[in-house]
């Protein structure tokens, strides 16, 4: 009991955490974007829970400690492996309200951009169906962090401060996230009593109050008064749906993702384009240029997802697209029509257990602090769904995005689970990590630290800041001399933030957190007292 209280004390007050980016375990693993979220998931495993309990605890904790990226008012996409069932997916993204009416000119944030939240429905459904612990146990660490307070990370304070002008416009956001008209500084104690109350309600009634009870009534009334579209009928009718699974192959591995509203098909198409080249025998410079080429060709096909998604994952289609684009595809990397997207803001988390379960989840509120609106009574930020951020949307439509949680199988068994944050940069980040592990044979930790590229309309962006891993130390010099129009990006975390778990025979889970972020990876040890 003493050890349990000690762990809970650390969770409540946000210190004494491991900062490790990589770990191994023969039992179970958690990797997430915040040390408190990783610790919450690990605590569930220590209490006898499984990967689904761990991922739910981490998910709820992220809604407390990383509100700029995800939360109760946002969306969630999951892909998971259960030994007796194989790979399945869950779609709990936000949905456009039934009464939504598009205006000629729409605001980028505010009440009018708020759709039906899906995160709560999705994570509760997943945990209730496959978890071993009670929902009260799973949510308790998040409740403690919200009610007793936690120390805000400097990075979270900086992200919130970027949106300070917009946050000040909304009463709920000002009440719950600002003090003296500014954000809480990094290192300060942040208590969220309203959010703690909301989390307690969810833990007691398994989310019923959130969609059909008091939380939903208060939420829809606030949004209606603010000029938004969300109604009680939208909340009551919302369902977390079984996601469409899309599959493809890459050098003997099975790549499994989720279809629209996710971009799993683009991940598969991009990899199958790259399969046309033996990347294991290419220089690091050529490796990056081939990835840039596959990226820009696959992104041209994004408009086809709604009509020809099943065709995009065919190896023959990818091979033809690649062949038709040669030879200019490598020599002219600037000839792409890829749209210039912002870096985007989301979070990814993964968990595994000794029973062989593996879960990969991406959750988001859209841009930083979502719609910038926080519920006055309930204390959480609402995601952006309608408006310019995600493009034209129709009533009842679910938000499509670059979110792409992935599971990779080898001989029918889990090999790798990963996903990323970063808007349009999610897909190339995931593909480059997969390729480095499979094609270059480097460790998962090295693959996450390796430099990434992103093809812009007029130039190639190349990640090159302190700590970037290059398999070949001459890579940057070779790129500079190649004549490619490129820009070196010195700022960290600009090319997606990846969290991943790899299975290594015999019976070892390897977890890794993106070195450009605040997250950690921790495995369950047999003797933890």
Non-local CB neighbours of 526 within 8 Å, separated by 6+ positions: 26, 27
- Count of alpha carbons within 13 Å of 472, Cβ hemisphere only? 17
> 457: helix, coil or strand?
coil
Domain co-membership, 454 together with 480:
yes
pLDDT at 344 over 80: no
Inside any domain, residue 378: no
Inside any domain, residue 363: no
Inside any domain, residue 430: yes
Q: What distance in Å separates the CA atoms of residue 267 and residue 249, rounded to the nearest whole number?
A: 11
Single out the residue in 238, 262, 288 at which a domain terminates: 238
- Asked whether 395 and 229 are in contact (CB, 8 A), the reply is no
Torsion angle of the four alpha carbons 447, 448, 454, 459, in this order, in degrees rounded to the nearest 10: -80
Q: pTM of the prediction?
A: 0.93
- Count Cβ atoms below 10 Å from residue 504 Cβ, excluding itself: 13
pLDDT at 87 over 50: yes
> 249: helix, coil or strand?
strand
Non-local CB neighbours of 517 within 8 Å, separated by 6+ positions: 33, 155, 493, 497
Q: Looking at residue 505, what is its pLDDT?
A: 83
- DSSP H or E run through 250: strand 245-250
Domain co-membership, 226 together with 273:
no
For residues 340-346, average pLDDT: 58
Inside any domain, residue 351: no
pLDDT at 232 over 70: yes
Single out the residue in 181, 212, 238 at which a domain terminates: 238
Q: What distance in Å separates the CA atoms of residue 109 and residue 385, rounded to the nearest whole number?
A: 9
Inside any domain, residue 412: yes
Inside any domain, residue 284: yes
Strand partners of residue 255:
248, 408
Non-local CB neighbours of 194 within 8 Å, separated by 6+ positions: 176, 375, 377, 378, 379
Q: What distance in Å separates the CA atoms of residue 3 and residue 1, rounded to the nearest whole number?
A: 5
Q: Which of 388, 379, 315, 424 is nearest to 173 (CA)?
A: 379
Domain co-membership, 133 together with 249:
no
Q: What distance in Å separates the CA atoms of residue 179 and residue 190, rounded to the nearest whole number?
A: 10
pLDDT digit string, tens, across residues 144-157 = 999 999 999 999 99
Single out the residue in 185, 205, 238 at which a domain terminates: 238
Q: Which of 54, 35, 68 is nearest to 123 (CA)?
A: 54
pLDDT digit string, tens, across residues 20-50 = 999 999 999 999 999 999 999 999 999 999 9
- With tokens 């992104």, the residue in question is 299
Domain span at residue 201 reads 2-15+32-74+95-238
Instruction: State the chain's maximal CA–CA distance in angstroms.
Output: 66
- Asked whether 404 and 420 are in contact (CB, 8 A), the reply is yes
List the CATH number of the domain containing 481: 1.10.246.130
Q: Looking at residue 390, what is its pLDDT?
A: 86
Q: Looking at residue 391, what is its pLDDT?
A: 85
Domain co-membership, 99 together with 47:
yes
pLDDT at 337 over 50: no
- Asked whether 481 and 9 are in contact (CB, 8 A), the reply is no
Inside any domain, residue 253: yes
pLDDT at 3 over 80: no
Domain co-membership, 189 together with 233:
yes
Report the length, in residues, of the chain.
529
- Asked whether 387 and 106 are in contact (CB, 8 A), the reply is yes
Domain co-membership, 229 together with 328:
no
Domain co-membership, 130 together with 211:
yes
pLDDT digit string, tens, across residues 420-441 = 999 999 999 999 999 999 999 9
Listed in sequence order, the DSSP H helices in 47-132 are 51-65, 119-130
Inside any domain, residue 386: no
Domain co-membership, 220 together with 256:
no
- Count Cβ atoms below 10 Å from residue 286 Cβ, excluding itself: 16
Domain co-membership, 232 together with 263:
no
Domain co-membership, 252 together with 331:
yes
Domain co-membership, 213 together with 257:
no
Q: What percent of the chain has pLDDT over 90?
A: 87
- With tokens 């009534």, the residue in question is 217
What's the distance, Cα to Cα, between the start and end of the chain in Å? 11
- Quote the number of domains for the chain: 2
Domain co-membership, 154 together with 289:
no
Strand partners of residue 100:
none
């Amino acid at each position: 009991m003493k050890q349990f209280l000690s762990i809970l004390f650390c969770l409540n007050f946000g210190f004494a955490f491991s900062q490790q980016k990589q770990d191994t375990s023969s039992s179970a693993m958690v990797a997430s974007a915040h040390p408190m979220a990783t610790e919450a998931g690990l605590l569930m495993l220590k209490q006898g829970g499984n990967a689904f309990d761990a991922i739910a605890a981490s998910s709820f904790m992220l809604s407390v400690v990383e509100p700029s990226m995800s939360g109760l008012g946002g969306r969630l996409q999951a892909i998971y492996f259960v030994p007796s069932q194989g790979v399945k997916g869950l779609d709990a993204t936000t949905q456009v309200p039934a009464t939504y009416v598009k205006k000629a000119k729409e605001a980028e944030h505010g009440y009018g951009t708020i759709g039906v939240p899906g995160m709560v429905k999705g994570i509760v459904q997943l945990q209730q169906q496959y978890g071993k612990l009670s929902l009260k146990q799973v949510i308790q660490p998040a409740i403690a962090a919200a009610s007793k307070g936690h120390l805000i990370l400097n990075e979270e304070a900086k992200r919130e401060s970027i949106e300070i002008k917009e946050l000040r416009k909304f009463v709920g956001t000002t009440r719950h996230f600002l003090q003296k008209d500014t954000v809480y500084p990094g290192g300060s104690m942040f208590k969220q009593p309203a959010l703690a109350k909301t989390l307690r309600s969810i833990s007691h009634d398994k989310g019923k109050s959130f969609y059909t009870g008091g939380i939903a009534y208060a939420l829809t009334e606030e949004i209606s008064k603010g000029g938004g579209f969300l109604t009680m009928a939208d909340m009551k009718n919302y369902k977390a749906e079984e996601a469409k699974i899309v599959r493809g192959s890459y050098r003997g591995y099975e790549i499994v993702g989720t279809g629209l509203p996710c971009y799993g098909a683009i991940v598969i198409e991009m990899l199958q384009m790259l399969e046309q080249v033996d990347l294991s025998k290419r220089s690091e410079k050529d490796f990056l240029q081939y990835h840039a080429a596959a990226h820009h060709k696959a992104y041209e096909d994004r408009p086809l997802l709604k009509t020809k998604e099943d065709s995009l994952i065919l190896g023959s289609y990818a091979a033809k697209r690649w062949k038709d684009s040669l030879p200019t595809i490598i020599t002219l990397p600037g000839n792409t029509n890829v749209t210039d997207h912002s870096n985007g803001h989301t979070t990814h988390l993964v968990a595994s257990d000794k029973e062989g379960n593996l879960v990969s989840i991406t959750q988001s509120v859209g841009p930083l602090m979502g719609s910038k609106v926080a519920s006055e009574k309930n204390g959480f930020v609402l995601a952006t769904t309608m408006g310019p951020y995600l493009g034209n949307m129709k009533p009842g439509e679910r938000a499509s995005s670059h979110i792409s949680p992935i599971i990779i199988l080898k001989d029918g068994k889990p090999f790798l689970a990963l996903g990323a944050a970063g808007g349009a940069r999610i897909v190339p980040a995931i593909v480059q990590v997969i390729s480095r592990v499979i094609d270059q044979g480097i460790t998962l930790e090295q693959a996450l630290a390796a430099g990434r590229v992103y093809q812009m309309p007029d130039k190639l962006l190349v990640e090159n800041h302190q700590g970037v891993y290059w398999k070949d130390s001459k890579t940057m010099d070779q790129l500079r001399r190649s004549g490619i129009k490129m820009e070196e990006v010195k700022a960290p975390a600009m090319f997606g933030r990846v969290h991943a778990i790899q299975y290594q025979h015999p019976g070892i889970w390897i977890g890794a957190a993106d070195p450009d972020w605040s997250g950690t990876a921790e495995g369950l040890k047999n003797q933890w007292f």
